[in-house]
Amino acid sequence: MPMKQEYDKYTAEDHEVWSILYNEQMTHLPTIVTDAYLRGIKVVEFQPDAIPRFSLINEALRAVTGWSIYVVPGLIDNKSFFEHLSNKEFPSSTWLRKKSQLKYIEEPDMFHDVFGHIPLLSEPFFCKFLKELSDITLKHIDNPSIVEIMARLYWYTVEFGMIREEGQVKMYGAGLISSPGESKFCVSDEAVYVPYDVKTIFETPYIKDKYQTKYFVINSYKELADSLPQIGELVEWYAQNEVVVELSYS
């Protein structure tokens, strides 16, 4: 029996935490976040003062891209994670950090999973990329080196990706969108931008709990979808040559 969001169990503090985080991010995001995110927020109808209802989000998302939220208790194993993505189900927790943890939490909570990830799931090319990168990963789910390079790809796009729109570099990664600190850093003069390149991403380990030393910048979501054949070919090359990749985390 799949878990459900038990909406009536949220406390006044839970709604207040959503409201504080939502309002803080939305005061500075609109000029520095991808247009697709702003359009997505309208599709899923986020409210500033109340935790979103997953049932309404799912109805809205299914109508535009066929995606929905799949409730999970917290972090899940790689195989289940990519299987859900392959089924167009985005794994999300339902719990929210406490007021005393507004700045930092160790595991992604619902503010990250929902506020950060869900609006982009209204973008068709992004959705195609997410589904097919999961299909490629599942083919090699028992090969830790392939799972590692695909985790790097996921990290540098879905979590920390940036996009050039009308000459300006904006964020689309959920790790950026949901982070009060890094969402400012990634558009500051200190941020380093490099072009999106699958081969380079496969060779770049990732570090948690620190701002990124560089951001991979796409020119469109179609560019992500168009890179899928190259991703597939490179993954086959890694697999056939039995390339051993050091894990960013084990």
Residues that bind Fe ion (CB under 5 A): 174
Find residue 217's DSSP bridge partners.
Answer: 162, 195
CB of 92 to Fe ion, least distance (A): 9
Please say whether the beta carbons of 231 and 130 come within 8 A. Answer: no
Task: Please identify the residue of the shown chain whose CB is closest to the bound Fe ion.
Answer: 174
- Residue placing its CB nearer to Fe ion in the complex, 88 or 238: 88
CB of 123 to Fe ion, least distance (A): 16
CB of 159 to Fe ion, least distance (A): 5
- Residue placing its CB nearer to Fe ion in the complex, 121 or 234: 121
- Residue placing its CB nearer to Fe ion in the complex, 120 or 174: 174
Please say whether the beta carbons of 134 and 86 come within 8 A. Answer: yes
Closest by alpha carbon to 93, among 10, 13, 207? 10
CB of 247 to Fe ion, least distance (A): 19
CB of 239 to Fe ion, least distance (A): 26
| Alpha carbon distance 250, 246 (integer Å) | 9
- Residue placing its CB nearer to Fe ion in the complex, 174 or 231: 174
- Residue placing its CB nearer to Fe ion in the complex, 147 or 234: 147
Distance of CA 79 to the CA centre of its chain: 17
- Cα 170 to Cα 14, 37, 41, 124, 153, distances in angstroms: 29, 10, 16, 19, 18
Amino acid found at 114: V
